[in-house]
Amino acid sequence: MADVIEIIGPFWNRYALTKSFLIAFTIFLCCSIVRAAAPAKTCAPSWDSRCVWAEAGELSLAEIAARGDEIMRFAGSASPRPRDGFLAALRHSRSGAFELVIRDPAVPGNVITRPVTRTLWVSLAALRARFAAENALAEARSTANDARLKAKGIETVCLDDGAVIQIDTVLRGRADRIYAYSCHNAAVEGVARRIATLLYGQIPYCMRLAPELRSICPSLHGDKALAAAAAPAVLEFADDVCFAPASARMSARIASSATVRFDGADAVTGPPGAILAALCRDNFSFVLRDIDARASIVIVTGVAWGEWHEPLTGDAYRARATIARGTQLWRIDAGRPKLESWTIGKFALSE
């Protein structure tokens, strides 16, 4: 391995790093991922869409081919934003019917199923075929470029937080797979957006969401149009809830007198500032599972993730993930959603 390693980042920026730094960084990254990971799954790696489909109870490509059916499965994202993605399948059965299945990538058990026309099948099949050819050329160029640099004693590693696409298909009895990401193919982001638009465009209430929020569409329930309207406000209270720059914006989403119960503690009722103070004694993330809208009420359920530092010897500690269930109650006031109550149960270690 070369002593100096060139890193290709987003927009093809290049950074020269020493070999020892890269090795240390890689060890740190791997350990961080392992430490923060969810319970072990039966399929690995977890980012592989084939694992997600299997754990959602879907048939394998080999089983689909054996039945004489056809399928195109699409997974990916158009940007590093956590909800700017898609997980969907288009099925073509032996009977000739076409069916669209869209899942929430964060909660694959939440699903939308709709019959669709042959037109959508033809459009996506043509897009896939063009992209397969374009991606093969892009991968070949990237491989050749890496080889030229390696001949000069330079190793390259791509660090990219951009778009990714996974397409798994059974067409005319043949299983195939495309995996592409924008570090090697600059066209991936645009293709990902076209795929997402074609998929979500079949569901009118999904299109009420901003493009970067449409992946949560399968998690909308009840009055889905109202749930979609409330979703942007609800999502202000997801991910890193207590991230300081967002606090002023979050305060505007809280009712003038709201109630919060956090980590099994007594209820706190008060203005937005008091509510945020009660919530933010410790940093945590909230992963929503369902947004259920009925009349002027919106009920949100999800899971809160925190972190507990387990003391070891000396000043050392081990970070452990903690988890608790949470429920929010929102009320639509003059067309604006306001958080009225939020209950988060007692955090427990996630094994």
Q: What is the pLDDT of residues 247-304, one digit of tens each?
A: 677 888 999 999 999 888 889 999 998 888 888 777 788 888 999 999 899 999 999 9
Return the pLDDT at 228: 96
Same domain, 260 and 288: yes
- Point out the residues of the chain with pLDDT beneath 50: 1-41
Is 36 within the bounds of a domain? no
Domain containing 281 equals 223-349
Which of 185, 208, 231 terminates a domain? The answer is 208
- Is 147 contained in some domain? no
Residue 30 lies in a domain: no
CATH of the domain at 67: 3.30.1560
The whole-number pLDDT of residue 265 equals: 85
**Does residue 65 sit in the same domain as residue 202?**
yes
Please indicate, yes or no, whether residues 197 and 337 belong to a single structural domain of this protein.
no
Q: Are residues 200 and 231 part of one domain? A: no
* pLDDT for the residue numbered 23: 35
Q: What pLDDT, on the 0 to 100 scale, is given for residue 31?
A: 36
214 located within any domain: no
Strand partners, 291: 220, 300
pTM for the predicted model, two decimal places? 0.80
Residues 199 and 72 in one domain: yes
- Residue 278 belongs to some domain of the structure: yes
Domain assignment present for residue 286? The answer is: yes
One domain for residues 241 and 320: yes
3-state secondary structure the chain: CCCEEEEECHHHCEEEEEHHHHHHHHHHHHHHHHHHCCCCCCCCCCCCHHHHHHHCCCCCHHHHHHHCCEEEEEEEECCCCCCCEEEEEEEECCCCCEEEEEEECCEEEEEEEEEECHHHHHHHHHHHHHHHHHHHHHHHHHHHHHHHHHHCCCEEEECCCCCEEEEEEEECCEEEEEEEECCCCCCHHHHHHHHHHHHHCCCHHHHHCCHHHHHHHHHEEECHHHHHHHHHHHHCCCEECCCHHHHHHHHCCEEEEEEEEECCCCCEEECHHHHHHHHCCCCCEEEEEEEEEECCEEEEEEEEEEEEEEECCCCCEEEEEEEEEEEEEEEEECCEEEEEEEEECCCEECC
Q: Which residue has the tokens 């056809």?
A: 70
Q: How many domains does the chain have?
A: 2
Q: What is the pLDDT of residues 162-208, one digit of tens each?
A: 789 999 999 999 999 999 988 889 899 999 999 999 999 999 999 99
